[in-house]
Structure 1
């Protein structure tokens, strides 16, 4: 089996890193299982463990660990093992906050050209979830897209798309039915040769079905919708990069129950561009929109121009980002104190 790396996104800029590391070969990470990577290379997929330099970088920052979508450099040792010796700098990255007290991040996918927020129209789209995931998509650096799935279960999918377009200023909203094939060709245009489409959404949203529809074959396992509540079952538990016929790749992420924002001020501003635009009309540049005179945002709330639900969603995400910023500051201060203590020399006794 041979693979054309240019169809997976390899280009002249990536090749400059390879020229600095003679004796290595490139590949793209398709999935990671317990620290072992499945890497797509010119001769097909190989399994590779993590080399010392990668482990050392991860000890300082867990986001340095390879993830699906990363371009890496591989080495093959005389006794046969293959190791990942370098993770090439990411052009884009979907990063969510990790659970726990470390105030760190987890890279869900790397080097996406398009980050698609996948949301089912049945039984009902979750507006707050779309806004949260869109903030993550905007912050990644990739082109955001909203894909509405299971439209065969909706009476008027076009009307639903028009309604949800207000949640995504400047972002295309694409209704798709993998069951009937509606909208699949339009989605396929976002995955030209050399480009990568990432799918981000909850369990049961139909991401695996989208991958199968784009690939023209069943490459991802899917399960039937539960009859009791109309929701899909959780299927994908790992991130997987799937090459498509004709070039391009799609990356299916696991269903996310909750996505915490880590550092998404710019992404939040773009997701809520309507509120950001209203804020420019406030009398005071530092207006908190909480009782200040001549507040354009409060005026828009009062006259119904700005829906209260959207305003509360924006406030919730703003509070979350402020909290995460404080957590990072505390962690960095603790790290600096720890480094200072480790660097002190013991005082000699008289």
Structure 2
């Protein structure tokens, strides 16, 4: 039984006190009202109980693909139903602002060790969008790596790799082709037996194709490449966790059109990792409170003047800072409202429970 859990990434030290391993499972798929889980009893369906809706403060409290959960069993209509009683603490989480105008976080994948950012090479690489992906990946608590896919469609893969390296800040970069299988062996070597890796990127980047190659069969549905822009017709509609035959776990995700930042407390400043070069220049400024505008001795202004720091990268850094500050303000207001709603729900739930 324990071996099946370990196959899905379970580590014994994560077992909560007083909880038997028979009650532990990992979420492998997430749908609207239910989850596919893998535990000691194999593949099962589960859902959250009614009280979960009362005790949670936001969607982030709900299970996500990659989560480890504690289960209980209930019988309904002569059938055994698996209920998610609790989500175990996450070691990492790739979180984005959910699509739409509502301030809400969406967990793309939980408890991942690496984030593989897949960028296709059939067109010029959008390094500004890549910087956004890198920031979110570092913020997740996992380590990012960059995969330059569809290398067979590039006229200058080496040049594109150099452009990516200029903003990657030492993040490993891999070139991959589904046609020639260039780089496949190197990618396999980057996946350790205890890794859980989430694949992220835009629609048609080739995430599912690469995952199928790693699995060794067409487990995830893909479609033909369009002849006009070389993009695959996007077919991934949900997140899915898959165990590789060679060891390790991968998570496929739908393509992302727009990756909006999500604010979380206790995170490192964005300059710590994805903009570490800018952080170093900021620390080199003569004044500690330098605004990098008209002050003398400004290392940022000097780096811009010499070309060591591109204006585009600096502008994008400022843009992300503004977006992050705006997300924080919205999040603070949302937390206050959600806390009020939560106490109202708990009060109603307590009254209903007391009448039973």
TM-score (norm 1): 0.89
SS in 2 for 1:4: helix
Alpha-carbon distance change, 34 to 311 in structure 1, aligned in 2, over 3 angstroms: same
Structure 1 residue 5, shift from structure 2 partner: 1.9
Q: Which runs of 5+ in 1 are unaligned?
A: 343-350
Q: Indicate the residue corresponding to 1:140 in structure 2.
A: 140
Structure 1 residue 334, shift from structure 2 partner: 5.0
Q: Are 2:155 and 1:158 aligned?
A: no
Q: Indicate the residue corresponding to 1:69 in structure 2.
A: 66
Q: Indicate the residue corresponding to 2:318 in structure 1.
A: 315
Structure 1 residue 286, shift from structure 2 partner: 2.2
1:56-205, aligned counterparts within 5 Å? 56-58=54-56, 60-78=57-75, 79=78, 80-100=80-100, 102-205=102-205
Q: Indicate the residue corresponding to 2:33 in structure 1.
A: 35
Structure 1 residue 321, shift from structure 2 partner: 0.5
1:200-215, aligned counterparts within 5 Å? 200-215=200-215
SS in 2 for 1:31: strand
Q: For the Cα contact (< 8 Å) 2:263–2:331, is it kept in 1?
A: no
Output the aligned Cα RMSD: 2.5
Structure 1 residue 124, shift from structure 2 partner: 2.0
C-alpha deviations, 1:206-254, integer Å up to 9, x for none? 0000110111110111112211122222221111101110321100111
Structure 1 residue 180, shift from structure 2 partner: 2.0
Cα distance in 2 for partners of 1:56, 1:338 equals 9
Q: For the Cα contact (< 8 Å) 2:58–2:338, is it kept in 1?
A: no
SS in 1 for 2:209: helix
C-alpha deviations, 1:145-203, integer Å up to 9, x for none? 11111111123423322221111102111111123222122222232222111111010
C-alpha deviations, 1:80-117, integer Å up to 9, x for none? 11222221111000011124554331111000010111
Of 21-30 and 130-139, more deviation after overlay is shown by: 21-30
Cα distance in 2 for partners of 1:176, 1:102 equals 37
Cα distance in 2 for partners of 1:221, 1:341 equals 44
Of 229-238 and 135-144, more deviation after overlay is shown by: 229-238
Q: Indicate the residue corresponding to 2:49 in structure 1.
A: 51
TM-score (norm 2): 0.88
Q: Which runs of 5+ in 2 are unaligned?
A: 346-356
Q: For the Cα contact (< 8 Å) 1:199–1:251, is it kept in 2?
A: yes
The number of residue pairs the alignment matches comes to 340
